[in-house]
A and B are shown apart, each in its own frame.
Chain A
Amino acid sequence: MTPPDTLKFSSQCQATNNFVVRFANTNGTGSASANNMFAKAILRMGIPVSAKNIFPSNIQGMPTWYEVRISEDNFLARRGGNSEIVVAMNAQSLKEDICSVACGGFLLYDSSRALTEDDIRADIQYLPIPISIICQKEYKDPRQRQLFKNVVYIGALAALLNIEFDVLKSLVADQFKGKDKLITPNIYALELGYQYANQHFTCPLSIKVERRDLINNRIMVDGNTATGLGAVYGGATVVGWYPITPSTSVIEKFSSYCDRLRIDPATGKKNYALVQAEDELAAIGIAIGAGWNGARAFTATSGPGISLMSEFLGLAYFAEIPVVLVNVQRAGPSTGMPTRTQQSDIIACAYASHGDTKHVLLFPQDPTECFEFSALAFDLADQLQTPIIIMSDLDLGMNDHLTEEFSWDDNKSYNLGKVLTAQQLDDIENYGRYKDSDGDGICYRTLPGTHPEKGAFFTRGTSRNEYAGYTEKSSDYVHNMERLLKKFDTASQIVPVPEINQGHKLAQIGLIYFGTSAHAIAETKTQLKDHGLAADTLRIRAFPFNDAVSEFINNHQLLFVIEQNRDGQMRSLLINEQEISPEKLSSIANCDGLPMTSTFIVQGVLDKLSGDYSAKQVS
């Protein structure tokens, strides 16, 4: 069945630099790198863009989607809803993909196989390109036939959407730098698509891009790369790790940067040790052993890895050992949806392990903060002698984000915390590992091998007195537990402060959010304004909470805690830790595994105002 040539009715989508392109592919076909090239081309034309890779937990053969949002208003969260243009390359998901085209939008598809009658919608325009047939004719090698299909449709999109062809050519040159033989064939494939579209369709379409200069100093990068790089800058030398999606690339990026930046120039030897452990227990055990011995050490994990690491987190909390844990959250519980995003480990991490424990959490919103918090976490871990958990998520970690460029102050020195040298030990008469001599709950530690006579102690997960001696004396135990609480209070004064946005005259509504929900906030405020509503905002950047959080809550009448889980975990943590009355905080919680949208937040606010809010909706 051949679809009609042009859309008969008049409501064709019209948009310049403000639309969504959705790619539907089969995973394992190399589509992600081609789609990424598409997003980057938009970036290089100076137009703000975001890309979400919605992929399965599978290596080959299952449906995968890639959503590119182009927004010169800088609204870079997932928009949600249907897309102005869908590139349908996967027969398995074709029906669903046709449905996902917005009314008046476009469907670019591989017409090598004819559509059925069911596939025809009257309210969209079809852009048939016989991509398989073209590639079959042009290439002999089956893998090339597959890979170049992706490049052909990117070429076609360039013509259809008015993307500058030279920008694509420069991207190909960058991508295959060092593998120069691949440049010409890729550009040829782009041209095949470009020419075909130009010859068969009216180009550009009514949705298109136009060059702007709106990027400034921003870069486009994923959060895991930023976190890995931050660990290099923060001075991490020992890593224990176990592969798990979506955290794996934190370590891979750390490793590849170390290959470049951490090789001793004189000897060619490594200034780091990366140990792939047998499981997550060992991964954090390695990081803790190294932290105990004075190296900056970390591990990264996701989902089940957090459960497995909990016992060790309790040890590091109680024995007071610096360690950094990067948690790239995914949808749980159990194996859950391993390739979907969530912020659902808040409670599990804040109180990880049995007994009374509390951990310091950092909540980066974008790759820039991933970089900064990753480096900062090592200072905080050393200062506080406790685990620091960086709460990233799959969307932040694995998707490319437009973000402020990374910066580093060369004058800033690492803060290694209270570690005694041999000389300092000589000057102390009566050293006690767990003596709070400064009144901030943080005691002085010593490292093995420091002093031949003084400062050695037995580190343990059992209760001990100020001199690290084993004790079951209630008063010693209570004294120690109270001191740990005091230390946690000290932590609240040195962790990143919340980001508050409010005018002199406070709005009635207060939105509390953290992490990747931040991307939807500017758009949310604009949409609320359309409804005649104003909102002040507070972005939580760390736990323990700073006093400013309670103040913000006290100053607002109608408060919403926006998060990406089912149970409103951050809301619970606020209620529990800041002694806030539960009715004061409403929950806007999305747990569908996809990045937060402004539509969902606005709907949550409106529903609450109209009194019929249901937490169970799906974005």
Chain B
Amino acid sequence: MSFIKSKFHHPRIPTNDLGLNYRDYEGSLSTLCAGCGHDAITSAVVQACFELSVPPHQVAKMSGIGCSSKSPNYFLNKAHGFNSVHGRMPSVATGANMANRDLIYLGMSGDGDSASIGLGQFSHVVRRQLNMLYMVANNGVYGLTKGQLAATADKGVTNKAGELSLFTDIDLCIMALQLGATFVARSFSGDKKQLVPLIKAAISHQGFAYIDIISPCVTFNNHKDSTRSYDYVHEHITTAAIADFVPMKKEITSDCASGEGEDICLHDGSLMRIRKIQDDYQTTDPMQAIVDIAKYKKKGEILTGLFYLDPTATHYHEINNTCDMPLNQLTQDALCPGSRVLTGINNSFR
């Protein structure tokens, strides 16, 4: 393990539209275990933000508590981050978003943080249609407290210590679909080719986007009986369609040639280009997506990919009719009614 992050980079390292290179999007050196799935997510976030030419300081990184919630420290060093309290990132992200609607909100959470202690907050931030990308690094286990079963662990599996998971697992994708999320996907930290376009599309999406990322815990949940181990996931993962993200400004040169798939146009003019593998694949019906997820699960497979996308989505500020200028930039002139108005108010109490 290294203790100092190398600043070396190739002199001709590619730059994006902002003239920034990949390394400008990196964070501090990860202190997670070597081989942790979360570090692969970090790297996917870095790549997605770099390729999208997101100005790093226009991102707010929000997290709760746990291994996953430490991850925002490892990407986008030029962005402010907020490592809040356990299970409460959704409310803090809501407040931050209320204060400044112009920033990009990247939420990073884990299965303990979102499916247990924070399940209530998770549900309500979905319902509230907050404009953000909410990622859960889902490994079915509590890492920082050393291996207890998480609420997302499949019923009937055992953890490393041999404890049996007795209860039904919570599927956050299904919950998000049921509660009205307008972008829902599942991916695998080991499948960057799938994950990066999903993150890019989710950032471009104007509405609540949820990505559940299976992210194996090498230390506490990578054993033979686990259904979240690298081996198990590799063997049982399936996808109904391959999605590619085509940014607004780029000419269309994606892996999948036009005509082969279906294009979904996002708010900013970018495209989500879908190449179907299963004939019955669709992204327009959240209830059907729930059925599909359950169907594959029954077969012992993990369905991944984009489950649902509503390109006409709205979000909290639109529903609230909040002014266009970020609330944190309004001056006293706009906020304080002044003494003349107060005279009238006083008179209403006589």
B145 lies within 8 A of chain A by Cβ: no
Asked whether any CB of chain B lies closer than 8 Å to the CB of A439, the reply is no
Q: Is B60 part of the binding interface, using a Cβ–Cβ cutoff of 8 Å?
A: yes
CB-defined contacts of A237 to chain B, threshold 8 Å? 98-99, 327-328, 330, 335
B98 pairs with A275, CB closer than 8 A = yes
Contact assessment for A293 and B60 in the assembled complex, using a CB-CB cutoff below 8 Å: yes
The answer to whether the Cβ of B120 comes within 8 Å of any Cβ in the partner chain is: yes
Chain B: minimal CB distance from A160 (Å) = 25
Q: Which of A288, A448, A451 contacts B60 (CB 8 A)?
A: A448
| The 3 A-B residue pairs with the shortest CB-CB distance in the complex, in nearest-first order | A289-B95, A285-B91, A295-B99
* Interchain CB contact under 8 A, B78 and A453: yes
Which residues of B are found within 8 Å of A269, using beta-carbon distances? 321-324
- Tell me whether A406 is interfacial, beta carbon within 8 Å: yes
Question: Which residues of chain B have C-beta atoms less than 8 A from A286's C-beta?
Answer: 91-92, 94-95, 98
B21 contacts the other chain (CB 8 A): no
Query: In the assembly, what is the distance between CA of A234 and CA of B342, in Å?
Result: 13
Residue of B77, B96, B322, B338 near A289 (CB, 8 A) is B96
Q: What chain B residues lie within 8 Å of A558 (beta carbons)?
A: none
Residue of B nearest to A239 (CB): B98
Q: Mark B106-132, 1 if CB is under 8 A from A, else 0.
A: 000000000000001101100010000
Q: List B contacts of A279 (CB < 8 A).
A: 120
A261 to B349, CA, bound (A): 17
| Interchain nearest-CB distance for B92 vs A (Å) | 4
* Stretch from A327-335, A340-348, A456-464, A488-496 forming part of the interface with B: A456-464
CB-defined contacts of B72 to chain A, threshold 8 Å? 458
CB-contacts of B300-350 with A (<8 A) = 316-317, 320-324, 327-328, 330, 332, 334-339, 341-342, 345-346, 349-350
Partner of B73, one of A238, A453, A458: A458
- What are 5 pairs between A and B in contact, CB < 8 Å? A238-B327, A240-B94, A281-B88, A448-B96, A449-B80
- Nearest-CB distance from A39 to chain B (Å)? 12
Task: Output the least CB separation between B293 and chain A (Å).
Answer: 25
State the main secondary structure of chain B at its contact with A. helix
User: B57 touches which one: A235, A277, A294, A450 (CB < 8 A)?
Assistant: A450
**Contacting residues of chain A (267-292) with chain B, CB-CB under 8 angstroms:** 267-273, 275, 277-279, 281-292
- The reply on B56 being an interface residue by CB < 8 A is yes
Contact across chains for B99 and A294 when beta carbons are under 8 A apart: yes
B82 interface hit (Cβ, 8 Å):
yes
Tell me the complex Cα distance, A3–B182, Å.
Answer: 72
Residue of B nearest to A237 (CB): B327
Q: How many chain B residues have a CB neighbour from A under 8 Å?
A: 60
Query: Is B124 in contact with A410, judged by CB distance below 8 angstroms?
Result: no
- Whether the pair A406, B92 counts as a contact (CB closer than 8 A) is no
Q: Is A477 an interface residue (CB 8 A)?
A: no
Question: Is there an interface contact between A459 and B80, defined as CB atoms closer than 8 Å?
Answer: yes
Q: Does A607 contact B (CB under 8 A)?
A: no
Restricting to A40-66, which residues have a CB under 8 Å from any CB of B?
43-44
Q: Give the residue name and chain of the B residue nearest to A218 (CB).
A: B350
* B84 CB–A CB distance under 8 Å: yes
A405 CB within 8 Å of chain B: yes
In the assembled complex, which residues on chain B have CB atoms less than 8 Å from the CB atom of A449?
Answer: 57-58, 60, 80, 100, 102-103
B47 at the interface (CB under 8 A from A): no
- Say whether B79 faces chain A, with CB atoms less than 8 Å apart: yes
Q: A288 touching B92 by the CB < 8 A rule? A: yes
Interface assignment of A466: CB less than 8 Å from any CB of chain B? no
Q: Is the CB of A446 within 8 A of B98?
A: no
With A220-B350, A293-B328 in contact, is A238–B95 under 8 Å at CB? yes
Residues on A with C-beta less than 8 A from B103 are 293, 448-449
The residues in B between 14 and 62 inclusive whose CB is less than 8 angstroms from any CB of A are 55-58, 60-62
CB of B83 within 8 A of chain A?
yes
Residue numbers in A under 8 Å from B100 (CB-CB): 293-295, 448-449
Please indicate the chain B residues that have their CB under 8 angstroms from the CB of A315 in the complex: 84-85
Interface flags, A286-322, vs B, CB<8A=1, else 0: 1111111111110000000000000110010000000
- Asked whether B156 is an interface residue with its Cβ less than 8 Å from the other chain, the reply is no
Contact indicator B82/A459 (Cβ below 8 Å): yes
Measured between alpha carbons, how far is A191 from B313 in the docked complex, in Å? 58
User: Does B90 lie within 8 Å of A456, measured CB to CB?
Assistant: no
Closest chain-A Cβ to B68's Cβ sits at a distance in Å of 15
Assess whether B147 is interfacial by the CB under 8 Å rule. no
Are A270's CB and B91's CB within 8 A? no
Q: Does A532 contact B (CB under 8 A)?
A: no
B93 within 8 A of A: yes
A409 CA / B338 CA spacing, docked (Å): 8
> Which residues of chain A from 202 to 259 have a CB within 8 Å of any chain B CB?
215, 219-221, 229, 232-235, 237-238, 240
Q: At the interface, yes or no: B180 with Cβ under 8 Å from chain A?
A: no
Q: Any chain B CB within 8 A of the CB of A9?
A: no
Q: Which of B99, B330, B335 contacts A290 (CB 8 A)?
A: B99
Whether the Cβ atoms of B82 and A292 lie closer than 8 Å is yes
> With the chains together, A611 CA to B277 CA distance in Å?
90
Q: What separation, in Å, do the CA atoms of A292 and B62 have in the docked complex?
A: 11
Instruction: Report the separation of the CA atoms of residues A268 and B321 in the bound assembly, to the nearest whole angstrom.
Output: 8
A459 neighbours in B (Cβ, 8 Å) = 80-83
- A447 interface hit (Cβ, 8 Å): yes
CB distance from B179 to the nearest CB of A (A): 12
- Is the beta-carbon distance between B124 and A233 smaller than 8 angstroms? no
Contact check, B57 vs A456: say whether CB atoms are below 8 A apart.
yes
